[in-house]
Structure 1
């Protein structure tokens, strides 16, 4: 598989040098989709790859199905009840109570109690059959459509491959409408809170089936970023995610900003800023050649970027420039979130830690 969200951390953590090994029970391999996450006092100090606000609460997801939540701005964490033990990569809460998490093996989890308990809504064993049924119905109505024939063949191959279909990000517009994106142009939408998922692969301007790393809104616009400089924006009239021209052909790992200002960030410190909804982009020189892996926005509108090594850069001018915040405890970072009290919480190979902001 090509590089996914946390592969940048591999060079900094020997633990990520090999694929995750499934838990062993009674000398037999256990299916991570059927094995609940083990409770561990060390969970908050282990690999964590996703963070989200659920109202005043923070919710974090990570390896082996670990999900944790904090009600004191990240000082203390409690472990949630999770029905799977596959690695989780991203989490989002559109309301304080309702949240979704995604990860390896095509898993989609849902919580209705602020992240304390979770249930499985989708997994990789279902992804292929859902795609096959959806595109086969379309092909039945248009049997000579070459694109649909390709979609059906691809879906059939995914059925045969099994559960190994990672989702890399999730975002919900409200309690019903949401999107999940992943490797090789995987993208699904739900209009009923995850009860049913519809594939949207034909609605992306991504003919190379590049990995989709993040889906996030900035103002009223919804963006998706991925490999090889891919940046797409949703055209709500047509329902298509249209590719935008950017001056960089390396991977983008995230998108952030505020109404009127969008920033995409990725490999080797490359950050680009747009003030015209993505029509044009200008490079922002960070003076830091390290990949940018996380972002957040403070309550007073400052934009934060975090490098793969844990450097925190702060902008007070809507992303036009960034200043490096002093930080003597660098550690690999995969996700960041400003807590309700204003402190920055960072997640990565060494778990969760709180960092005061100047």
Structure 2
């Protein structure tokens, strides 16, 4: 922590922008900040050198999907290169990351889906007041998808079609007499809701509801699309599959809050029987969440997280770079930061 305000950051940045020109302004901005940080007393420096290795200043949680992994690595680069702090990335499920932010052992979750994580948001943002939600959301959508060519060939257009055993027979890919539908990865809040939706619409009586990691699911989708074979499953955007595949999102009745009652498995053993979700998902949003303790401990990081803003197209491209193109997340982040100077300056100085 060095005590710079956003106004200080912008002043340093703008000064070097005018001196160095646009291409070198971030480098100069970082250099002056680092030089000012070096002006510590000799005694303090000696104490730091003599002290044992400490944990990272900032710990960012990384759940198990590609775009959040890319975003976490981007934030790591931005913080380390511009604020001079050590950053660690730790894998964790949504509940684990929120609990850790509550305790102060993690400091950010880069991509919280709302209302999927509404229960965690309510507990830690509203009730405990230990977590803060960034208010620059990315708009998102969720639903059930089939390849567009399959939707056209077999006239599968509506969620009601999933209750037709004759139409759905094409999705029996293992030949056991029961079609399969992928409803999401284990541990996703949306997977719980998709079980509820399958029960509410009635297609749980037709399908085997399968759960496994999305990298496998969407690899299966890519293989099926290439071969012109059927595939059906949960989909959400922003996501790279809408860049790489031509998908049809099944039509549903418009979202009606009166038709949605979601009880979590952790709250009631009879959660499925007591839950209902018989209309479409409400429009979702993605928000970075961060530990409120940062506002005192590392205010510049808190300001960065509050200013952070991303668009859906960028998130989809990020996911594709990692999951489809096979780029290493750390290498991708370095390239992305170098190519998005203006956006990063906005995060740092607004």
TM-score class normalised by the smaller sequence: under 0.3
Q: Which has the higher contact order (CA 8 A, sep 6+)?
A: 2
Structure label with greater radius of gyration: 2
TM-score, normalising length: structure 2: 0.27
TM-score, normalising length: structure 1: 0.26
